[in-house]
């Protein structure tokens, strides 16, 4: 058995490659499932949010708290309760967010890069609040 590997031919494909690896790890235990992405199963939203927090922790040094995870869940599902929800691969990585020209995953990857390149010390020290809904911001 090995860790999942995604081959890319251009750096512009890197965000989708990471999304593929995350989805694969959340959705299957079968390391030999070569046709997984022909019809990827939905993932539980709670598992996916936990993995996104791990992604933040490993890439920018601090995971996400429950308020930040709730905001991400709302962005993904347009609801505030996510504990029993499921999410499709298309909704996570292929379909544009409502009224936007980008996907959820593209948006999240851009935030990770912004933190890493421009505000990492502030993020790690907890000075950046992170994800906040418009209602909470007011």
What is the signed CA dihedral for 97, 33, 27, 114, rounded to 10 degrees?
-50
Please say if the pLDDT value at position 8 is more than 80. Answer: no
User: What is the share, in percent, of the chain residues with pLDDT greater than 70?
Assistant: 89
pLDDT of the residue at 52: 93
> Domain ranges in the chain?
42-137
42-137 placed in CATH 1.10.238.10: yes
pLDDT of the residue at 80: 47
pLDDT of the residue at 84: 61
Extended strands (E) in 12-68: 43-44
In whole angstroms, give the CA distance from residue 49 to residue 44: 9
pLDDT digits (tens, 9 = 90+) for 84-134: 688 898 999 999 998 999 999 999 999 999 999 999 999 999 999 887 767
Coil, strand or helix: which one is 54?
A: helix
Q: What is the mean pLDDT of residues 70-91?
A: 77
pLDDT of the residue at 96: 93
C-alpha dist (Å) from residue 86 to 37, 39, 48, 116: 17, 15, 9, 29
Please say if the pLDDT value at position 34 is more than 90. Answer: no
Split at pLDDT 50, 70, 90, the class of 2 is: low
Instruction: Give pTM, 2 decimals.
Output: 0.80
pLDDT of the residue at 53: 95
């Amino acid at each position: 058995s090995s860790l999942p590997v995604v081959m890319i031919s251009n750096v512009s494909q890197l965000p989708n490659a990471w999304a593929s690896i995350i989805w694969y790890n959340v959705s299957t235990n079968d390391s030999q499932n070569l046709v997984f992405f022909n019809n990827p199963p939905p993932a539980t939203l709670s598992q996916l949010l936990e993995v996104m927090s791990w992604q933040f922790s490993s890439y920018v040094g601090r995971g996400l708290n429950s308020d930040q995870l709730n905001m991400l869940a709302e962005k993904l599902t347009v609801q505030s309760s996510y504990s029993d929800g499921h999410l499709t691969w298309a909704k996570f990585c292929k379909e544009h967010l409502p009224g936007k020209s980008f996907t959820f995953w593209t948006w999240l990857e851009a935030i990770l890069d912004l933190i890493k390149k421009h505000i990492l010390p502030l993020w790690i020290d907890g000075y950046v609040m992170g994800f906040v809904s418009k209602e909470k911001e007011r």
